Amino acid sequence: MSVLDGILAGVREDLAQRQSAVPLAELKARVSDAPPALDPLPGFRAPGVSIIAEVKRKSPSKGELATIADPAALAAEYAAGGAAAISVLTEQRRFGGSLDDLAAVRAEVSVPVLRKDFIVTPYQLWEARAWGADLALLMVVSLPGGLLEELHGLALELGLTPLVETHTEEEIARAADLGAEVVGINARDLTTLEVDRAVFQKLAPHLPEAAVKIAESGVTGPEDVAEYHAWGADVVLVGEALVRSGDPRSSIGEFISQAGRP
């Protein structure tokens, strides 16, 4: 069993408990009363590099990263620093997140919010929208057959912007076949948790030309963001480097300014 297989097994167990507690009809009612989702594309397509700043307490590869008692306050710092969007980890077992974190962040900031989780069922997309997400992560590696297409279509119907995450040329081809507008390349291989930022450099030329191109994982400082941008990234998703920085607002400014230098 790969690392990803183990994570997905836990995700499905936790999902079954939530489905028992909150019927789909209740989620749909909540979504029907929700304000429209925010569109992240104008921010992502702005000149220079855009930053998705992540609320992330821990990870399977690094363990505990930061004690985040108030995710909304952290998100506010991110937004004040110039983040184009906020990513909220909602997976509990390996990342220490929750849907309550998502709701708290949504209530605090005016920028788009991404639900980052291992989404494998339609129910999770209804959850994302019901708790205030504007974007939802769809990882090609965990969505075989027609499931990727089904979830991508439902996300759009719900007003969510799907961030379609890839790690190989074959996965990029599947994203392109969908007509995905936002495509990420994760430098981390989720089956082993190994990180190689050069994966983005290698695969970026294969991304759909019109798509927003997002680099994920492996950022330790401004120089990494600048390099991703030089390799073609419109947006860089940053988690660990920000939650450990001590001054996330200033760090985001540094990321953006250094990447914009000639």
Question: Among all residues, which ones are annotated catalytic?
Answer: 54, 56, 116, 165, 186, 216-217
Q: 33: buried, middle or exposed (CB in 10 Å: 19+, 13-18, 0-12)?
A: exposed
Q: Which residues are registered as beta bridge partners of 166?
A: 185
Neighbours of 69 (CB within 10 A): 8
- Residue among 43, 133, 42 at smallest CA distance from 83: 43
Tokens of 182: 């936002």
Tell me how far apart the alpha carbons of residues 96 and 67 are, in angstroms, rounded to a whole number: 10
First-to-last C-alpha distance (Å) of the chain: 45
Instruction: Write the secondary structure of 16-57 as one string of H (helix), E (strand) and C (coil).
Output: HHHHHHCCHHHHHHHHHCCCCCCCCHHHHCCCCCEEEEEECC
CA angle (162, 129, 235) in 5-degree steps:
35
